[in-house]
Amino acid sequence: MAALESSPRPSLRRRGAALGGVVPPVSLLLVAGAAGLLVGCLRSEVFAQLTVQGLALGAVYGSLALALVLVYRATRVVNFAQGELAMATTYVAWQLIQWGLSYWEAFFATLAIAFVLGTVLEVALVRPVQQRSVIGAVIVTVGLFILIDGVVNWVWGGEFKYMPSPFGTKIYHVGGVSIARLYPGMLAVVLVSVVLVWALFRFTKLGLGMRAAAFRPAESALVGVRVDWMLAIGWGLAAVLGAVAGLMAEPSQFFLEPTLMQPILVYAFAAAVLGGLDSPAGAVVGGLTLMQPILVSAFAAAVLGGLDSPAGAVVGGLVIGVSLNLVVQYVPAISSELQAPFAFAVLVGVLLLKPTGLFGRRQVRRV
C-alpha cells in the first residue's frame, strides 16, 4: 500500500526529508556562530554594538516572520499584507497616544485592536476567496497590502510621525561598549510575546485545537474543534505579533511612515524561509543566530527536542538581523542600501539549497 501523504506539496516534503538528517549540524552551526559572535564582541566594541543592535532588529524580523509562519501553517496562505497590517496598527498606537493614552496603555490597546483586525480580515476577505482557490487568497493579501497602504496615507498622511520611545534614551555602558536601552528593551518585548504565543500553542486546549485545525481540519471538526474559529484566531494572533513587531520597529527607525514595514517584510520573509515556512521554530531561529551562547544552546535544545514550536521563526529573524548589521559594516562591497537585496539573496539561496529551511521538520510516516 502506498504511503498516505497528506501534504499538499509531497515532493517538497520528501526532498526536505532526505536532507532532514542535518538538524544536529544546524544547531552546531548556531552554537559555533554564537561563539564566534562572543569572541568578536570581546575583541571589538563596534562589533559588540552592532551585534546587540542586530539581535534587537532580528527579534523584530523574527516576530513578523513568526506571524507569517502562523498564517501559513493555519491557512496555507502567505500573507503579503502582514507587514502593512503591522504598520497600520503602529499608526493606531500613535493615534491612541495622541489622544492621551500612555505608551503602554496604547501598546496593549493596539494589540487588542490588531487581534480583532486580523480576525475580521480572515473571516471577511480571505476565507470566502480561499474556498475557491488558495492562490486567489494570496492575491487578496497583495491587494490588501495596497489597500492598507492607501488607507493609512489617506487617514494619517504620508509625512513622518514621531512617537516617544517606550524605553527612554538611557544608555548603558558595559566595558567599553555603549548600548542604548532601546535594544535590550526591544529584544525583551519581542521575545516575551513570542514565548507567550509559544506557550499558548503548547500548553493550552485552545492552542492544541489551533494546531489540530491547521494540520487536519476535517479530523479536527470530528472531535469537536471549531475549525473556522481556530483559523480566524490564528490570523488574529499573527496580527498581534505583527503589531508587536511594528511597535518595536518604530523607535529603531525613530519615526513612523507608511513604508515602515516594507523592508522589514522582506527580512521577515527571508527569516521565515531560512527557518522553514512550515516550522514556526525555524523562523525564530533565522533571526536569532547570532545570539548569546546560552540562548542559542536553548534554541539548539528546542530544535533537538522537536520543533513543533514557534521558535524557528524567531531564530530565523535573529540570524538575519545580526548578519545584516555585521555584513554592512565589515563587507565593503555591501553598503546599507544593499541590505534588503542581501536578505533577498539569503531567501532565494535557502529556497534553492534547503527548501525546508534550517528547521523544517522531518516528516516521519509509517506505511
Partner 1 sequence: MSTLLELEDVEARYGPVHALHGVSLAVEEGAIVAVLGPNGAGKTTTLRAISGTVRRSGRIRFAGRPLHRLGPDAVARLGVAHVPEGRGTFSELTVWENLRLGGYTRRGSIQPELERVFSYFPWLSERRRQDAGTLSGGEQQMLALARAFVHRPRLLLLDEPSLGLAPVLVAELFRIVRELNEDEGLTVLVVEQNAHLALQAAGAGYVLEAGRVALSGTSTELRADDSVRRSYLGY
Burial of 247-272, coded b for 16+ CB within 10 Å and e otherwise, reads bbbbbbeeebbbebbebbbbbbbbbb
Stretch that binds partner 1, among 107-115, 164-172, 188-196, 211-219 (CB under 8 A): 211-219
Give yes or no for a contact between 125 and 140, defined as CB atoms under 8 angstroms apart: yes
Residue from 205, 294, 333, 335 in contact with partner 1 (CB under 8 A): 205
Stretch that binds partner 1, among 81-89, 148-156, 341-349, 357-365 (CB under 8 A): 357-365
Stretch that binds partner 1, among 133-141, 213-221, 239-247, 325-333 (CB under 8 A): 213-221
Chain centroid, CA 324 distance in Å = 16
Give the x-and-dash track for 152-191 against partner 1 (CB under 8 A).
----------------------------------------
Q: Is 123 in the site for partner 1 (CB under 8 A)?
A: no
Q: Is 89 in the site for partner 1 (CB under 8 A)?
A: no
Cell numbers of 189, please?
A: 518585548
Give yes or no for a contact between 274 and 320, defined as CB atoms under 8 angstroms apart: yes
Work out how close the CB of 334 gets to partner 1 at its nearest, in angstroms, rounded to a whole number: 39
Work out how close the CB of 364 gets to partner 1 at its nearest, in angstroms, rounded to a whole number: 5
**How many residues can be counted in the chain?**
367
Composition of the chain by helix, strand, coil, percent to 5: 75, 5, 25
Residue from 2, 223, 352, 353 in contact with partner 1 (CB under 8 A): 223
Give yes or no for a contact between 58 and 322, defined as CB atoms under 8 angstroms apart: yes
Using CB under 8 A, which residues numbered 271 to 330 contact partner 1? 306, 308
Give yes or no for a contact between 86 and 145, defined as CB atoms under 8 angstroms apart: no
Residues 6 or more apart in contact with residue 17 via CB below 8 angstroms: 362, 363
Residue 291 vs 311, nearer CB to partner 1: 311
Cα 135 from Cα 142, distance rounded (Å): 11
Work out how close the CB of 215 gets to partner 1 at its nearest, in angstroms, rounded to a whole number: 5
Give yes or no for a contact between 327 and 57, defined as CB atoms under 8 angstroms apart: no
Q: Is 219 in the site for partner 1 (CB under 8 A)?
A: yes
Q: Is 254 in the site for partner 1 (CB under 8 A)?
A: no
Residue from 21, 132, 175, 218 in contact with partner 1 (CB under 8 A): 218
Residue from 105, 146, 226, 304 in contact with partner 1 (CB under 8 A): 226
Helix (H, G, I), strand (E, B) or coil at 176: coil
Ordered DSSP codes for 231-286: HHHHHHHHHHHHHHHHHHHHHHHTSB-TTTTHHHHHHHHHHHHHH-TT-HHHHHHH
Residue from 4, 294, 352, 353 in contact with partner 1 (CB under 8 A): 4
Ordered DSSP codes for 132-157: T-HHHHHHHHHHHHHHHHHHHHHHH-
Stretch that binds partner 1, among 134-142, 174-182, 207-215, 263-271 (CB under 8 A): 207-215
Residue 43 vs 366, nearer CB to partner 1: 366
Residue from 99, 224, 332, 333 in contact with partner 1 (CB under 8 A): 224
Cα 325 from Cα 55, distance rounded (Å): 9
Work out how close the CB of 79 gets to partner 1 at its nearest, in angstroms, rounded to a whole number: 22
Work out how close the CB of 222 gets to partner 1 at its nearest, in angstroms, rounded to a whole number: 5
Q: Is 222 in the site for partner 1 (CB under 8 A)?
A: yes
Enumerate binding residues for partner 1 (CB under 8 A).
1, 4, 6, 205, 208-209, 211-212, 215-216, 218-227, 306, 308, 363-367
